[in-house]
Amino acid sequence: MKKLTRASIEGIKPYIPGKPMEELQREMGIAEVVKLASNENPLGPSPLALNAIMENIEKINRYPDGRGYNLKRKLGQRLNLKEEEIILGNGSNELIELAFRTFLMPDEELIQPYPTFQVYEKIARTTGADVISVPLKDFRCDLHAIKEAINKNTKIIIINNPNNPTGTAIKKGEMMDFLGVVPDDIIVLIDEAYIEFATDQDIARGEELLSVHPLIFIIRTFSKLYGLAGLRIGYGFGNRTLIDLMNRVRQPFNTNMLAQIGAAHALDDHEFVKKSLDLIQEGLNFLYKELDRLGLEYISTQTNFILIKTPKPAESLFKDMLKQGVIIRSMESFGMSYHIRVNVGLPHENERFIKALEKTLYS
């Protein structure tokens, strides 16, 4: 009898997303649910994006622009790039998948820091490639250890900067030194899903790194800062040879019309961006202060979320918080049994999280 699938796929554990608000409402009959598990923008979508989407909703009988010309033109102007150096994706997740499907072959290796975004390993293993996980050092990506892990089978190095779930980030000098010693035939993929939240101006940013290494590919998303997570739209930029090869694998209409339109207008929504960043910073300041009051350890972040160490097992805490209508993320699946991750919400949501956390831990 023929084997149904590859052994590498049989060993993959399904990705577990944050619990939907509607599911908790159904299960427990809780009317007002606070979701702080998926690093979403609590303000909702960009108003400029929303207006543009509504103005174009009646055009959805037509196929989208398979080239994504308008959005790529706007991104090119912002990043000083040519169209052939940019690729659009159905969320940045699809761009990870496109890169791995295009370049990774069986018995080649992907190097990743650990813990990090779980989708990297999940997708890489579908190609039959091996995954080398390099432990973080003090919750930060250990570039020296990653360099030491490079061998003749290394094909791709992927770095999440800032890193999810820790919120720590790599400075420009560190990244440039690292890229300078990576062999020229290794692809370096830098996932910058949270780069817009970074307040430290010394943090490495993809557009400043393109000339340092010949095979570099940067990916970003409109899901977080711009509030378009439900539309699934992201973009990548970098080496045009890499982009060309991925375009050969990419589905013809992989990003939908409304996503392209919404993303293009979101880029111009400077008022919304400022309001969102101000809200995140104010929320972080509040959470830092309250976590200090509760005597809990946490990692200072360059993102819109915080990694928190708790005296109670993460899975147990997650379930207890659910009963109070607060959805957080247990880090058990990341190998961190006593850590949770929460994103900044609206002020009343942050306050409710703290009250529920204090009640769960200390009452």
**CATH code of the domain in which 342 resides:** 3.90.1150.10
Mean pLDDT of 71-99: 97
What are the Cα distances from residue 282, in Å, to 90, 159, 227, 342?
A: 31, 28, 18, 15
Cβ neighbours of residue 284 under 8 Å, at least 6 residues apart? 301, 306, 344
Phi first, then psi: give them for residue 219, nearest 5 degrees.
-125, 145
Residue range of the domain that includes 21: 7-44+270-362
Q: How many domains does the chain have?
A: 2
Bridge partners of 216, per DSSP, are 188
Report the candidate in 334, 248, 354, 206 with the shortest Cα–Cα distance to residue 293: 354
Structure tokens at 221: 């998303």
pLDDT at 22: 65
Please check whether residues 83 and 175 belong to one and the same domain. Answer: yes
Is it true that the peptide bond before 115 is cis, omega within 30 degrees of 0? yes
Please check whether residues 222 and 203 belong to one and the same domain. Answer: yes
Last residue of a domain, one of 208, 242, 266: 266
Within a domain: 21: yes
Within a domain: 226: yes
Last residue of a domain, one of 266, 290, 323: 266
For residue 289, pLDDT beyond 60: yes
Cα gap 241→249, rounded to integer Å: 13
pLDDT at 12: 64
Specify the length of the chain in residues.
Answer: 363
Mean pLDDT of 187-210: 97
Structure tokens at 326: 């607060």
Whole-structure pTM value: 0.93
For residue 344, pLDDT beyond 70: yes
Please check whether residues 297 and 182 belong to one and the same domain. Answer: no
Please check whether residues 124 and 106 belong to one and the same domain. Answer: yes
% of residues, the chain, pLDDT over 70? 91
For residue 25, pLDDT beyond 90: no
Structure tokens at 234: 């992201």
Phi first, then psi: give them for residue 132, nearest 5 degrees.
-105, 115
Mean pLDDT of 322-328: 94
For residue 11, pLDDT beyond 80: no
Give the Cα-Cα-Cα angle 20, 236, 209 (nearest 5 degrees).
Answer: 120
Give the Cα-Cα-Cα angle 307, 308, 310 (nearest 5 degrees).
Answer: 150
Last residue of a domain, one of 238, 266, 294: 266
| Tens digit of each residue's pLDDT (9 = 90 or more) over 108-157 | 999 999 999 999 999 999 999 999 999 999 999 999 999 999 999 999 99
Contacts made by residues 182-186, CB under 8 angstroms, sequence distance 24+? 182/147, 182/150, 182/157, 182/213, 183/150, 183/154, 184/213, 184/214, 184/215, 185/215, 186/150, 186/154, 186/155, 186/156, 186/157, 186/215
pLDDT at 363: 78
Please check whether residues 202 and 300 belong to one and the same domain. Answer: no
What is the rounded average pLDDT for all residues in the chain? 94
| Tens digit of each residue's pLDDT (9 = 90 or more) over 98-111 | 999 999 999 999 99
Cα gap 173→112, rounded to integer Å: 20
Q: Judge contact between 256 and 234, C-beta under 8 A.
A: no
For residue 10, pLDDT beyond 90: no
DSSP state letters, 132-143: EEEEPBTTB--H
Please check whether residues 18 and 66 belong to one and the same domain. Answer: no
Q: Judge contact between 215 and 239, C-beta under 8 A.
A: yes
Please check whether residues 251 and 306 belong to one and the same domain. Answer: no
Question: How many CB atoms neighbour CB 138 within 10 A?
Answer: 8
Mean pLDDT of 83-100: 97
Q: Judge contact between 117 and 276, C-beta under 8 A.
A: no
pLDDT at 80: 96
Please check whether residues 128 and 36 belong to one and the same domain. Answer: no
Q: Match 């049994």 to its residue by tokens.
A: 337
